[in-house]
A and B are shown apart, each in its own frame.
Chain A
Amino acid sequence: MIKYVSEIMDENLLQVEPLDCVSCIKNLAMDKRINYFPVVENNKTIGVVTYKELIQAHPNRIAIDAMTQNYVNVNHEMSIWEVKSIFDDEQVDLLIVQNNLKPVGFVTRSLLDKEFGKHFDLLTGLPKTDFILYKAYELLKEGNEISVIFIDINNFGIIDKEYGHVFGDKILREIADLLKKNRPEETCLCRFGGDEFVVLTPFQVEVTKQVAEELLDTIAANTFGSGVNISISAGISGGRRISARVTDSYSMVLNLINIASLACSKAKMSTDKLCIEINPGSMDIA
């Protein structure tokens, strides 16, 4: 499931007043081993004094004259993917997490990097499933269509057994790169697990089918090492969005992925290696 910023934030901060002196805050930092001090005035965070400001500022100064503005306030219910996009877009190293405008924690770039190590697949460099869940949620929130392509490498178990797992890993990396380069910009790609990948599209099923066909063709046309023939199967799920509002988009998207994975299993048996499922349940979803 999606992780929220409140689950990864560091709660070791202490609120200070604008007129608190730097030397007092420094003493607090030493005594309580705290490095981040949001400056709050009229129930609003107006700045932050960090250990950097405590080192640089004259001890006689007040917090408001020592604080930095180089941070962003975020809501405690923000997903860690949204937090990542803030760090990617803004030149800040610190986010202050707020609950009802009250600072309750902080996230630094290094803290987020550490967390994100868990959300990216080390072998392929692709994000894991929760990225797709977040992106699907965002698309649904904006009123977009969504469809899911579930991709599975055909006979990957046999490739592993015949050529070894190191070779298998090389194939996985190569396929991940091909999918990355050849998917449309508007789509999102993740490694679902093992030899399975998921592509989320903001398109209706008909357009998604074209995307899947192109990806299948790309993989089929590629020459892999040792002259091994590699092909993939794909299952598609999706449908027209007819419900007014999505209340639990995560479980619905998981359901779509599940339907697509079952379609993919069917596709393996078919000749064109592609199967589309628009089950009645998905009509309410997307």
Chain B
Amino acid sequence: MAKTYSAKKADIVIRLSEFEMPPMQDVLIVGRKAPIGPEAARRMVDILSPEQYEIIKLNHPVIEAIVIRKTLLNLLEQEKLIEAIMEEGGKIANDQIIIKAQINITLEVSKSIEL
């Protein structure tokens, strides 16, 4: 009678990377029926990075709110910034989704002075 052999093995793949602090980027676009609401997102981040994010409630059919890094609002007017985010984010968002967005704002200032 022939002997049977069975062999089990497991391959382990480890990916190491630095923990992102905070675990969200500059902006979260929160859908009205998303599993995590804007307040939950803000409180979560607040524990790790206190006082850095703000909720802006929107009067939008599918987007409930935008959770945004406060420093961005120091660089640009809130209205203009939200308009810019919604112009792009609003196209791909739906009421179930949470979208994270990275925003880089560069201010260019050029001045001439009299010599």
Which chain B positions have C-beta within 8 A of A62? 37, 39-40
- Closest-CB distance, A57 to chain B (whole angstroms): 7
Give the distance in Å from the alpha carbon of A18 to the alpha carbon of B35 in the complex.
15
Give the distance in Å from the alpha carbon of A60 to the alpha carbon of B35 in the complex.
5
When each residue 27-65 of chain B gets 1 if its CB lies under 8 Å from chain A and 0 otherwise, what string results? 000000111111110010000000000000000000000
Does residue A65 face the partner (Cβ distance < 8 Å to B)? yes
Does residue A107 face the partner (Cβ distance < 8 Å to B)? no
Which chain B positions have C-beta within 8 A of A149? none
Q: Is the CB of A65 within 8 A of B33?
A: no
Does residue A33 face the partner (Cβ distance < 8 Å to B)? no
Q: Is the CB of B33 within 8 A of A64?
A: no
Q: Is the CB of B35 within 8 A of A64?
A: no
Give the distance in Å from the alpha carbon of A66 to the alpha carbon of B64 in the complex.
11
Q: Is the CB of B33 within 8 A of A66?
A: no
How many residues of A sit at the interface, in one of the four size bands? 10 to 19
How many residues of B sit at the interface, in one of the four size bands? 10 to 19
- Closest-CB distance, A265 to chain B (whole angstroms): 62
Which chain B positions have C-beta within 8 A of A66? 37
Give the distance in Å from the alpha carbon of A18 to the alpha carbon of B40 in the complex.
9
Does residue A61 face the partner (Cβ distance < 8 Å to B)? yes
- Closest-CB distance, A171 to chain B (whole angstroms): 54
What does DSSP make chain A's interface, helix, strand, loop or mixed?
A: loop
Q: Is the CB of A56 within 8 A of B33?
A: yes
Give the distance in Å from the alpha carbon of A56 to the alpha carbon of B36 in the complex.
13
Q: Which of B36, B39, B96 has the most CB of A within 10 A?
A: B39
Q: Is the CB of B33 within 8 A of A58?
A: yes
Give the distance in Å from the alpha carbon of A142 to the alpha carbon of B33 in the complex.
48
Q: Is the CB of A64 within 8 A of B40?
A: yes
- Closest-CB distance, B111 to chain A (whole angstroms): 46
Q: Is the CB of A64 within 8 A of B36?
A: no
Q: Is the CB of B39 within 8 A of A64?
A: yes
Which chain A positions have C-beta within 8 A of B34? 58
B65 nearest CB neighbor, chain A only? A65
B33 nearest CB neighbor, chain A only? A58
- Closest-CB distance, B40 to chain A (whole angstroms): 5
When each residue 43-58 of chain A gets 1 if its CB lies under 8 Å from chain B and 0 otherwise, what string results? 0000000000000111
Question: Which single member of A18, A58, A59, A65 contacts B38 (CB below 8 Å)?
Answer: A65
Which chain B positions have C-beta within 8 A of A18? 39
Which chain B positions have C-beta within 8 A of A19? 43
- Closest-CB distance, B35 to chain A (whole angstroms): 4
Give the distance in Å from the alpha carbon of A19 to the alpha carbon of B38 in the complex.
13
B window 98-112: CB within 8 A of A: none
Which chain B positions have C-beta within 8 A of A57? 33, 37
Which chain B positions have C-beta within 8 A of A56? 33
Which chain A positions have C-beta within 8 A of B36? 60-61, 65
A56 nearest CB neighbor, chain B only? B33
The 3 lowest CB-CB distance pairs between A and B, nearest first, are A65-B37, A60-B35, A64-B39
Interface residues of A (CB under 8 A from B): 18-19, 56-62, 64-66
Please name 28 pairs of A and B residues whose Cβ atoms are closer than 8 Å in the assembled complex, sorted by A. A18-B39, A19-B43, A56-B33, A57-B33, A57-B37, A58-B33, A58-B34, A58-B35, A58-B96, A59-B35, A60-B35, A60-B36, A61-B35, A61-B36, A61-B37, A61-B40, A62-B37, A62-B39, A62-B40, A64-B37, A64-B39, A64-B40, A65-B36, A65-B37, A65-B38, A65-B39, A65-B40, A66-B37
